[in-house]
Amino acid sequence: MSKLKSNLIVTGIYMVFAVLLIAVIYPIIWVIGTSLNPGNALLVSKMIPDEPTIAHYIDLIRNTDFVLWYKNTIKIAISNAIVSTTLVAATSYAFSRFRFKGRKQGLMTLLILQMFPGFLSVMAIFVLLLQTKLLDTHLGLILIYAGGSISMGTWVMKGHFDTIPKSLEEAAFIDGANNTDVFFKIIFPLSLPAITFVALNSFITPFMDFILPQIVLRSSEKMTLAQGLYNMVANETNSSFTLFAAGAVLVALPITVLYMYFQKYLINGITTGADKG
């Protein structure tokens, strides 16, 4: 009886995973099929058209500002990854290795900040950027992303730093190394999984976010991919749905490749970061 019950539980788990897999894969196939559809219809009778075409991809690149949007997004993404990872690594190392007044309160504050959705601070961000003359600039958007990544990234990376034995650093200090040498020559190489996790998440954020760019960036030449693709279908009379689908595929492609390439580092970064708080 217990064996039968166990088999039923395993079967139920596999069925749940099968349903989730279909729910994830179906929209992806549908979007790809729509991007290859010869017409402009959003709803198609077949997921994969009988006569697929890449005309929408060519039209998107030649007749829209898609390349400009892509360049803007890549610029913001790379800058955000560098700035965010640097800030998170420095903050995490300080909380992990040094003992100072207000350390516990600081960690608790970062933990509490994760509970509030980002859109609650939209008005404050707008006013702040307006006063600092960073409104409608990529720098302003990068600074917002970098500041917002500190709370979650610090806890992930600090947990990884805590798993590295302090004896390695003590031996380096005996040999005459300073904190900078210890971080870049010992801590950094041993923390590549956590650093890769934070950097990749920071890189992907500008590709997925729409609300902040829509508030911060006003000029058409500074738009990101999310803004540009949205504006193509924002008008009720617009029929650029197949172009939108083609753009969505081109946006998702590099992100998918990056996730697949860094999969091992991402898994290690999540698991080791969760070992200690």
The full set of domain ranges for the chain reads 2-53, 58-273
Q: Return d(Cα 154, Cα 197) in angstroms, integer.
A: 12
Q: Which helix (H) or strand (E) holds 212?
A: helix 211-216
Express each pLDDT in 48-70 by its tens digit: 777 788 888 988 898 889 999 99
* Whether the Cβ atoms of residue 232 and residue 244 lie closer than 8 Å to each other: yes
Express each pLDDT in 93-109 by its tens digit: 888 888 888 888 888 88
Q: Return d(Cα 66, Cα 201) in angstroms, integer.
A: 23
Q: Return d(Cα 157, Cα 169) in angstroms, integer.
A: 17
pLDDT band at 44 (very low <50, low <70, confident <90, very high): low
**Segment 21-27 mean pLDDT:** 86
- What pLDDT shows up at residue 277? 43
Yes or no: domain 58-273 corresponds to CATH 1.10.3720.10: yes
Three-state SS annotation for 120-176:
HHHHHHHHHHHHCCCCCCHHHHHHHHHHHHHHHHHHHHHHHHHCCCHHHHHHHHHCC
For 135, the token pair is 């409104």
Residue 209: what are its φ and ψ, rounded to 5°?
-85, 140
Q: Return d(Cα 242, Cα 255) in angstroms, integer.
A: 21
